[in-house]
Chain A
Amino acid sequence: MKIFIAALILTLALTALLANAEVSQGDFDARVGEALARLERFNMKTDIDGIVARLGEAVRLWESGKRDEALRVVDGVNAEISGLEERAWVIEVQFYLGLAVRVLAFLSLPLIVYFGLPRVYLRLWYYFRRRWLVASRR
């Protein structure tokens, strides 16, 4: 039994070692590139700076030789992107609604000024002259 458990642990350890050893620089680049490509659709539609920064951290870890850690960070980022993809339509609707509100706000400015300015001006004119007395001239 002890031999079986030892063999199992050894096999698992070797498998884990080989799984990471198989990830070449090219594979790592492809993983980072793929994550960025998946993020592209959310660019400017929601805040992705944190996710991009974590990918940058993964690249730094990889360059400093901490490859397992780098791969774990990339996996974490991929999970985050999957979360974003699940609520992609909400993000897109929010983005386009926000954009439409901003454009409409700008477009309605001339109308607001055209109809509102004379009224506001009139109110102010009367407000600042509210204590004036009207006297008849002789």
Chain B
Amino acid sequence: MLLDDEVLAVILAVVVIASILGVALTLRDYYSVEPFTALGLLDSSCKIGDYPKRVIPGDNVTLCIYVYNHEGKPIYWSVVYKIGSNETLPTQEKPSSQPPIAEWRGVLSHGANETRIIVITIPKELKIGEKVALIFELWLYDAGRMEWVYSGRWNHLYVSVVG
């Protein structure tokens, strides 16, 4: 035989592995999506880094939020803005107990993301010298239960309140 048997065997082994990998990847795209969402907090130019460190009560602060959907289905999301402290930060299971100040909503397809510039208001009631956390929680709408469900994703930014 012109083509050596051993060479053919090696080529076949590579092709069999490639074939199995191809089938697995094709089916994985449709049937085994590991669902997750992501929330990011960015600066006013929608980049990581230049976050405000000091805020003045009553002032507006421009920030940017980033939401990514990998749930395997389209989602209706809401980012809720709260102000809290070390003791009132959210956890993966529970949202912050603080009242919401503002919220932003949107809809995303599977695999899509959205970056949105937001303007938040710093409440006038904050005391000068206080260190507070600007909390952003990601909530998803559950159409079956007809209610918003906390996703377990949140970001927070510590700022000092100055006069």
Contacts and interface: CB of A to CB of B under 8 A. Distances in A.
A118 B107 contact: no
B144 A56 contact: no
Given A99-B26, A103-B26, A29 B76 contact: yes
A39 B27 CA distance: 21
A59 interface: yes
Interface residues of B, number: 37
Chain A interface main SS type: helix
B73 interface: yes
B73 A40 contact: yes
Interface string A28-48: 011011101101100110001
A7 interface: no
B107 A117 contact: no
Q: How large is the interface on A (under 10, 10 to 19, 20 to 34, 35 or more residues)?
A: 20 to 34
Contacts of A121: 2-3
Contacts of B105: 59, 63
Interface stretch (A8-16, A82-90, A107-115, A130-138): A107-115
A127 interface: no
B3 A106 contact: no
B75 interface: yes
Given A33-B141, A33-B146, A43 B23 contact: no
Contact of A122 (B2, B27, B141): B2
Contacts of A114: 8, 12
A83 B131 CA distance: 54
Interface of B: 1-3, 8, 11-12, 15-16, 18-20, 22-23, 26-27, 29-30, 72-76, 104-110, 112, 114, 141-144, 146, 148
19 contacts: A29-B141, A33-B143, A34-B143, A52-B109, A56-B107, A56-B108, A59-B105, A99-B26, A102-B26, A103-B27, A106-B19, A107-B19, A109-B18, A113-B15, A117-B11, A118-B2, A118-B8, A121-B3, A122-B2
